[in-house]
Amino acid sequence: MVYNQFIYCSPFLLTSACSSFSVMDKSSRRAFLSATAASLAWMFTGGQASGAAPAIRAGAPCKMKGRKRTVDGVTFVCRNVKGKLIWRRTPVTAQVQVFTVRVLESAALELGGSKVVDVPVPSGGTTGVVVTRTDTGITALRVNCTHAGFPVARVGNVLECELHGSRFEPTTGAVLNGPAVSPLFRYEATESNGGIYVTVSNN
């Protein structure tokens, strides 16, 4: 004998999941219990199927060393860290930016002469550069002394630090007198079309 029919709709499911059963029908009761269990499982797992693959994020476990996966533009690689295989983000390689700037008119720099110019850099702002004309072309050196970073200036036939007195050869940046021990940083410099150009980068 079958009693009243009932329609069960799980309150936990976002999709339609209704079951028709009678209070005396064992198979319907099993369906009711199964639907309830599925609803609770769905709620406590955040809507993910029990067999769903684990999320890929930094620090999450992985299974095959060296495997790579890209998620939302970020590449992860499976690495062995202290005996455990976990996903690690691959390092982002900074893009090298290069600026070539016209810093002087050729006529503004005589043979043997030096001038300090401000050159825009890719990271923003400017950097001071000492530009010197030699018999073999143009030399461009960073204006900052390698000892304490203070500017150098042309004094006679040398570049001299105004703070501690380090001296540098103006055509190569080589150290002539300490306390500095490293030469001045040298930039690429060219001359064409009546102008002097200096190339700087962000690396």
Across the chain, the runs of DSSP E, i.e. the strands, are 5-9, 18-22, 68-71, 74-81, 84-89, 98-105, 114-120, 126-134, 137-142, 152-155, 158-161, 167-168, 175-177, 186-192, 195-201
Q: How far apart are CA 67 and CA 70, in angstroms?
A: 10
157 plus 132 within the same structural domain: yes
The answer on 190 and 123 residing in a single domain is yes
DSSP, residue by residue, 60-81: -B-SSTT-EEEETTEEEEEEEE
State the residue range of the domain holding 103: 98-201
pLDDT single digits (tens) 2-51: 445 545 454 544 444 454 444 445 555 666 666 666 555 555 544 444 44
Residues 6+ apart with CB under 8 A from 84: 61
As a whole number of angstroms, the distance between CA 77 and CA 102 comes to 44
- Judge if 74 and 126 occupy the same domain: no
Task: For 136-155, give one letter per residue: b (16+ CB within 10 A) or e.
Answer: eebbbbbbbbbbeeeebeee
In this predicted model, what pLDDT tens digit does every residue of 92-135 receive, in sequence order? 666 667 888 899 999 999 998 889 998 888 777 888 899 999 88
Write down the pLDDT at residue 106: 92
Is 142 within 8 Å of 154 (Cβ atoms)? no
Do 69 and 136 sit in the same domain of this protein?
Answer: no
Mean pLDDT of 137-159: 89
Q: Do 151 and 75 share a domain, yes or no? A: no
**73 and 158 together in one domain:** no
SS3 184: coil
Q: Could you give the C-alpha distances from 47 to 12, 23, 36, 52, 116, in angstroms and in order?
A: 10, 30, 14, 10, 66
For 41-64, the pLDDT digits (tens) are 555 544 444 444 557 888 889 888
In the predicted structure, residue 187 carries a pLDDT above the cut 60: yes
The count of structural domains within the chain is: 3
Percentage above 70 pLDDT, the chain:
70
Same domain, 179 and 117: yes
Q: Dihedrals φ, ψ of 113, to 5°? A: -90, 160
161 and 179 together in one domain:
yes
Rounded to an integer, the average pLDDT of 177-182 is: 89
Read off the CATH number of the domain in which 169 is found: 2.102.10.10
184 touches 146 (CB < 8 A): yes
- Do 66 and 24 share a domain, yes or no? no
Beta-carbon count within 10 A of 173 CB: 22
Residues 18 and 62 reside in one and the same domain = no
Q: Is 103 exposed, middle or buried (0-12, 13-18, 19+ CB in 10 A)?
A: buried
What is the reported pLDDT for 197? 94
Are 183 and 105 found together in one domain? yes
Nearest Cα residue to 129 out of 109, 181, 87: 109
- Supply the pLDDT for residue 73: 75
CB 71 within 8 A of CB 62: no
User: Would you state the pLDDT for residue 153?
Assistant: 86
> Same structural domain for residues 157 and 109?
yes
> Of the residues 70, 93, 116, which one is the last residue of a structural domain?
93
